[in-house]
Amino acid sequence: METKQTLRGAFFFFLMDLFLLMVLSGIALAIYKRFKSKRLGMKKTTKHKTGDRIALTALWLIFPLRLLAESFTADISGGSFLTSSVNSVIRLFSGYDSLILPIWWAYSISLGVFFLALPFSRYMHIPTEILLIFLRNAGIVSTSSRDGYAETEIYSCSSCGICIDVCPMVSVEDKTKYTSVYLIRELRRRKKSALETSNQCLMCNKCVEVCPVGINSTRLKLFKKQEEFGTGFFSYSNLQKEVSPIHEESILYYAGCMTHLTPAIYKALFKILEKAKINYSFMDKDGAICCGRPLMLAGGLQQAKALIESNTKIIENSGATILLLSCPICYKIFKEEYKLKNIRVLHHSEYINELIKSGKISLNKSELKIAYHDPCDLGRGSGIYDQPREVLSSFATLVKPLEERNMSVCCGGSLATRGFSYEQRKEVTKYSLTALNAQNANILVTACPLCLKTFSPIYEKQTMDIAQIVAKQMM
């Protein structure tokens, strides 16, 4: 038998004590976090259910009892720096031998209770996360809210509550029960209220960004909405139209619904293209069918596919090599859902940056101080952070927002939610303007027509799209 009397035995017991110390330190931190979460930067945490409390109590007891059990028998089976020290203290008390068996029984019972309560508690994430890692690395994705991968994501949620504080709805009004962590809890328990929770979301994706497990709760909400929407098929073949073939730069511009509501954006963009002597064609000049993203946000995934097929034929028949977009909502779906052959999909902030770097347009330097807002679908959704900043910093000074890049704020104008009133959205917008530190800037610049339309009526200073301010600064 290996004991502390042998080299290998001493090393084994040292590792065991070291592991126990690390785990006990983690448990101590977890207990502190549970009762003093605000001191660790968490304003809100999730509430425990009965199964959670039983499993948590057992989990908190397992390793302290293991330490005591190992310490009681350290002078028999061997121990190291931790268990031997505790054993020395225990031996100061008479009759400690009679407690050896009860302590080991207490440890065994705690372990058993934890495993029995595990499937009915949030701590099911401990074994499920291992499976999630394998499935994710295998490239598997979910196709419904109840398939194998989605179920694995649902049960991998630890209910830590980190997503609560970053949710725009919670920042201005306490709508904690509609946050992603509670949606996943409802999905786990198969509650009908999961649909209502899904319909309350702004779909800004900030919860996904901060999730330590990487659970795509936004996708789970979309699948839940799809169940309500139905699976009827719409044909858009009668809406197809021809786009005149174009040459040289082969730019096909698609405005989309929101940019048509803010025509100043595409007018400024066309001014830039004409200055750079770029030939382009306006795909939806006279109006066209939508990119499909709003339908997807509403849950109409099958209907969106019909739109995608129709638009794909129009785009590919145009002969374009670049599809240019000014709406991040359209940009995201064209990048992710469309399978365009030999066609680059570019947001106008990317293309403007290319024009500046290639010398096709030149900008006048200014003393302007600009606060740049990262739109949700352009930043977190598509990873476009640097190009807009490179454009703006080429002629002005950028004011660093309090929250930017992957942690940027939502403007509040999202079309995804059905349960957010205008006044509630307005409060989100006001909060976002504060977080953008826009008061220290001359101009607030964004790169999304929806964000521009949302910020403009509330921000007392000037709000512009990146195309507008570039067109204004051109030599």
Domain boundaries, the chain: 7-120, 124-229, 237-353, 361-473
Q: Is 181 left (phi over 0), alpha (psi -120 to 50) or beta?
A: alpha
Identical fold between 237-353 and 361-473: yes
Q: What is the pLDDT of residues 375-400, one digit of tens each?
A: 999 999 999 999 999 999 999 999 98
Domain 237-353: state its class.
Answer: alpha beta
Integer Cα distance of 170 and 168 in angstroms: 5
What is the predicted pLDDT for the residue at 241? 53
In the CATH hierarchy, which fold is given to the domain comprising 124-229? Fumarate Reductase Iron-sulfur Protein; Chain B, domain 2 (1.10.1060)
What is the predicted pLDDT for the residue at 437? 75
Q: Which of 461, 470, 457, 452 is nearest to 352 (CA)?
A: 470
Residue pair 209/407 in contact by the 8 Å Cβ criterion: yes
In 276-419, where does DSSP find H-type helix? 293-298, 301-317, 328-336, 348-357, 386-393
Which tokens in the block code for residue 1? 């038998």
Architecture of the domain whose range is 361-473: 3-Layer(aba) Sandwich (3.40)
What is the predicted pLDDT for the residue at 247? 46
Residue type, position 220, single letter: L
The model's pTM is 0.79
Residue type, position 452, single letter: L
Q: Mapping DSSP to helix (H, G, I), strand (E, B) and coil, where does residue 363 land?
A: strand
What stretches in the chain show pLDDT beneath 50?
A: 1-4, 231-233, 238, 246-248
Residue type, position 391, single letter: V
Integer Cα distance of 364 and 73 in angstroms: 79
Residue pair 254/323 in contact by the 8 Å Cβ criterion: yes
Q: In Å, how far from its chain's centre is CA 41? A: 19
Q: Is 410 left (phi over 0), alpha (psi -120 to 50) or beta?
A: beta
Residue pair 375/448 in contact by the 8 Å Cβ criterion: yes
Residue type, position 161, single letter: G
What is the predicted pLDDT for the residue at 380? 93
What is the predicted pLDDT for the residue at 1? 40
Integer Cα distance of 272 and 352 in angstroms: 8
What is the predicted pLDDT for the residue at 402? 86
